[in-house]
């Protein structure tokens, strides 16, 4: 299990299982937030606790959640369930409580700005972005 929390510790998340890779997206929202996303399903392998405000992008399909106190972007949540009734969610792994747990996870680059496709998977991992 990997845990994360915002700076003031009022909002936290847990990710059950192994994170195989994180995503760095270059869309107009993600590049401003500077996030590295790990994906799952709400209340299945990802659980969130604490009060958040929500910014809805575009047509409101995704809600970007941030702490009401310190403003850290904690996660995004799909506003529509999939065909199985599950809600897609992603947590911001830059908020990991124990960074050594995620430092070796590979980074997948996603072109969310122009092509909306996977851009590349290079040899970089999370620790390469820390320094």
DSSP per position, 6-48? -TTSSSEEEE-S----EEEE-STTHHHHT--EEEEEBTTTEEE
- Over 70: is that where the pLDDT of 24 sits? yes
- Residue-level pLDDT at 120: 67
pLDDT tens-digit profile of 55-90? 998 787 899 999 999 999 999 999 999 999 999 999
For the CA atoms of 129, 46, 13, 3, the dihedral, rounded to the nearest 10 degrees, stands at -60
- Residue-level pLDDT at 118: 80
CATH code (residue 52): 2.170.150.70
- Over 80: is that where the pLDDT of 34 sits? yes
Domain assignment of residue 58, given as a range: 2-129
- Residue-level pLDDT at 131: 59
Find the mean pLDDT for residues 33-59: 95
Model pTM score: 0.91
Task: List, in order, residues 6 or more apart from 114 with CB less than 8 Å away.
Answer: none
- Looking at the 3D structure of the chain, how many domains does it have? 1
């Amino acid at each position: 299990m990997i845990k994360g929390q915002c700076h003031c510790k009022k909002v936290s998340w847990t990710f059950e299982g192994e994170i195989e890779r994180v995503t760095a997206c270059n869309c107009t929202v993600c590049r401003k937030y500077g996030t590295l996303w790990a994906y799952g399903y709400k209340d299945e392998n990802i659980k969130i606790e604490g009060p958040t405000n929500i910014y809805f992008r575009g047509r409101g399909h995704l809600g970007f959640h941030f702490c009401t106190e310190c403003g850290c972007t904690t996660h995004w949540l799909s506003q529509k369930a999939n065909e199985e009734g599950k809600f897609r969610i992603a947590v911001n792994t830059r908020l990991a409580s124990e960074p050594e747990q995620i430092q070796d996870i590979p980074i997948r680059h996603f072109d969310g700005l122009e092509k909306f496709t996977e851009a590349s998977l290079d040899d970089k991992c999370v620790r390469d972005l820390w320094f």
